[in-house]
């Protein structure tokens, strides 16, 4: 993907959000036999789909139906999206809508080689849709597959911080269906850019230490509320407060992974107090072990999405989701192959 400039604008944002909300709601009622017709209603027939691993990239609604949605709906026949976020914006002249939350359903049949639990599951997701003329023309999806595996009884790594079922934002206002004030979006975008271009750079240029020092705390306190919440995918985990965020997540990650190219996000949109960034980051695993895996020296292309909630002049919450299956595969760990071969991990 190319780097994109961002401007605040709405255009058909309200209508685009209605389309994605309707698509999300309808998915609850379709079956493996009817999902193809539902896709035609909301997706352009040549839409490009960028999925998490092992789904990968698909082109057109027929492969999207056959290789992703039909197998998924077979495994989770009553799945429903519990939306925590739905907002829109314009990035490089393109119309985008982001939706995120938990997919809640009963795991009835095998999916991606994962044996079913017959139990209810909560799978965190984020979906970024590019819209044109009221239809989806491209999409990027990340699901927290490690969370599903953990719920199915397959556990391979100790998390950096506690793993939880991720709640929505504290004010419960992340689903923005109407118009919003562009000035608020501008403020949110400016804070995110200042954090990414100034604060995060400063933080990562400090001497690496597992214990947060005063300069690191000062940088964090400039951009985040002192009792900020940070929600990460399974294996990364979630924390409360800048001290715990640094000591349990940011600093262990820095000690393990070095960013080789400080890239701007590929897509960046904001609405009201919320801002979303999505893109790929180049890192190298040349530091300490990660998830118990020894230093590999491998170059990694990290696919991730970040959503921040602003409260006043600082961020109060951070929601991060990354394609951990892809990350681990690049580190030489095929977790789905382990599931297929190591049945003793399965919960009885």
Q: What is the pLDDT of residues 252-268, one digit of tens each?
A: 988 998 877 767 899 99
Cis peptide leading into residue 298 (ω within 30°) = no
CATH fold of 6-151, please?
Nuclear Transport Factor 2; Chain: A, (3.10.450)
What are the residue ranges of CATH 3.10.450.50 in the chain?
6-151, 182-336
pLDDT value at 88 more than 70: yes
Position 7 scores a pLDDT of 40
Confidence of residue 209 (pLDDT cuts 50, 70, 90): confident
> What is the percentage of the chain residues whose pLDDT exceeds 70?
94
pLDDT, tens digit, 9 for 90 and up, residues 5-20: 344 444 489 999 999 9
What is the rounded average pLDDT of the residues 292-303?
A: 90
Q: Which has more confidence, 116 or 3? A: 116
Confidence of residue 4 (pLDDT cuts 50, 70, 90): very low
Position 91 scores a pLDDT of 94
Query: In sequence order, what DSSP letters do the residues of 4-41 get, joined into one string?
Result: --EE---TTHHHHHHHHHHHHHHTTT--TTTHHHHHHH
Which two three-digit tokens encode residue 13? 């944002």
Which two three-digit tokens encode residue 271? 């609405």
Q: Length of the chain, please? A: 348
In angstroms, rounded to a whole number, what is the distance separating the alpha carbons of residues 83 and 288?
Answer: 36
In angstroms, rounded to a whole number, what is the distance separating the alpha carbons of residues 238 and 92?
Answer: 32
Which of left, alpha, beta for 85 (phi over 0: left; psi -120 to 50: alpha)?
A: beta
Confidence of residue 287 (pLDDT cuts 50, 70, 90): confident
Position 288 scores a pLDDT of 85
Position 81 scores a pLDDT of 96
Position 343 scores a pLDDT of 53
Closest by alpha carbon to 123, among 278, 233, 236? 233
Confidence of residue 83 (pLDDT cuts 50, 70, 90): very high
What CATH number labels 182-336?
3.10.450.50
In 10 A of CB 11, how many CB atoms?
13
pLDDT value at 169 more than 60: yes
pTM for the whole structure: 0.93
What is the rounded average pLDDT of the residues 135-143?
A: 97
pLDDT value at 308 more than 80: yes
Determine which helix (DSSP H) or strand (DSSP E) holds 318, and give its type and residue range: strand 314-322
In angstroms, rounded to a whole number, what is the distance separating the alpha carbons of residues 341 and 323?
Answer: 22
């Amino acid at each position: 993907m190319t780097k994109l400039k961002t401007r605040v604008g709405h255009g058909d944002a309200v209508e685009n959000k209605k389309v994605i909300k309707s698509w999300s709601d309808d998915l609850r009622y379709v079956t493996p036999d009817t999902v193809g017709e539902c896709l035609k209603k909301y997706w352009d027939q040549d839409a490009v789909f960028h999925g998490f691993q092992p789904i990968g990239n698909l082109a057109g609604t027929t492969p999207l139906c056959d290789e992703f949605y039909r197998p998924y709906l077979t495994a989770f026949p009553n799945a429903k999206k519990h939306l925590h976020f739905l907002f829109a914006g314009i990035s490089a002249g393109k119309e985008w809508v982001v939706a995120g939350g938990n997919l809640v359903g009963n795991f009835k049949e095998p999916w991606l080689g994962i044996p079913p639990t017959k139990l209810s599951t909560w799978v965190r997701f984020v979906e970024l849709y590019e819209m044109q003329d009221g239809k989806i023309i491209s999409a990027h999806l990340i699901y927290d597959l490690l969370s599903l595996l953990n719920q199915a009884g397959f556990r391979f790594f100790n998390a950096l911080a506690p793993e939880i079922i991720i709640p929505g934002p504290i004010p419960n206002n992340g689903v923005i269906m109407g118009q919003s004030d562009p000035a608020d979006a501008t403020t949110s975008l400016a804070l995110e850019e200042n954090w990414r271009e100034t604060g995060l750079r400063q933080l990562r240029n400090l001497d690496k230490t597992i214990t947060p020092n005063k300069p690191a705390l000062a940088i964090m306190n400039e951009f985040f509320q002192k009792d900020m919440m940070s929600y990460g995918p399974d294996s990364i985990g979630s924390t409360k407060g800048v001290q715990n965020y640094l000591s349990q997540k940011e600093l262990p990650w820095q000690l393990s992974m070095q960013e080789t190219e400080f890239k701007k996000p590929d897509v960046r949109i904001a609405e009201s107090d919320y801002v979303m960034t999505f893109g790929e980051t180049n890192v190298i695993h040349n530091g300490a072990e990660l998830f118990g895996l020894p230093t590999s020296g491998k170059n990694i292309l990290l696919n991730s999405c970040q959503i921040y909630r602003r409260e006043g002049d600082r961020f109060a919450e951070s929601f991060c989701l990354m394609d951990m299956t892809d990350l681990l595969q690049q580190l030489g760990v095929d977790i789905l192959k382990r599931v297929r071969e190591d049945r003793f991990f399965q919960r009885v």
